[in-house]
Amino acid sequence: MTCVPCAHAWALAVILVDSSVWIDLLRDIKTPQTLALRELLPRREAAVTAVIYQEILQGASTPERFTKLKRYFRTLPFLNPAHLIETWEAAAELYMRCRQQGYTPRSPHDCLVARIALEHKTPLLHDDRDFEKIAKVEPRLKLLRLV
């Protein structure tokens, strides 16, 4: 697993931010990850994928909140799958490799998020233990380490 050492050492175009961090930020929960995300936002360095966008929107408690979240998240950079079908095949293969190594991810979406991060060669900011295990199976996955 490749680590990006510290929030102040970021020299990348964008960081893919998992829904686990966005949800904590929206709930105003202070964690190292949400503090790092607050640094990324003014510089437009926080990116999402369609599946992360879906996970955030489906947590909306009211139609008004849904509309507000939709308006905001549509302004962020989106990282799209590199391939129409092959990205999903590779995510499924990653899920299978995890199972073969004795670990079943709780959500197949996590393998898709990991695959998109790999395709874009961008680090992933998360607060989800599944990504730590996925990164052991796929060492090319860069997880943002906050020290």
We report the CATH number of the domain holding residue 98 as 3.40.50.1010
- According to the model, what pLDDT value does residue 77 have? 95
The three-class DSSP label of residue 17 is strand
Residue 60 CA to residue 111 CA, distance in Å, equals: 24
User: How many separate domains does the chain show?
Assistant: 1
User: For residue 110, how far is the Cα from the chain centroid?
Assistant: 8
Coil vs helix vs strand at 78 = strand
Three-state DSSP class for residue 43: helix
The alpha carbon of 7 is separated from its chain's Cα centroid by a whole number of angstroms, namely 16
Q: What is the pTM of this model?
A: 0.89
Look up the domain containing 133 and give its range. Answer: 2-144
Question: In this structure, what DSSP letter does residue 48 have?
Answer: B
| pLDDT tens, residue order, the chain (147 aa) | 333 333 333 445 899 999 999 999 999 999 999 999 999 999 999 999 999 999 999 999 999 999 999 999 999 999 999 998 999 999 999 999 999 999 999 999 999 999 999 999 999 999 999 999 999 999 999 999 886
- Burial state string for 102-132 with b = 16 or more CB within 10 A and e = fewer than 16: eeebeebbbbbbbbbbbbbebbbbbbbebbe
Question: What pLDDT, on the 0 to 100 scale, is given for residue 12?
Answer: 52
User: Count of residues for the chain?
Assistant: 147
**C-alpha pair distances (Å), 142 with each of 59, 84, 122:** 27, 23, 7
pLDDT computed for residue 110 by the predictor: 97
The structure tokens listed for 126 are 């998360």
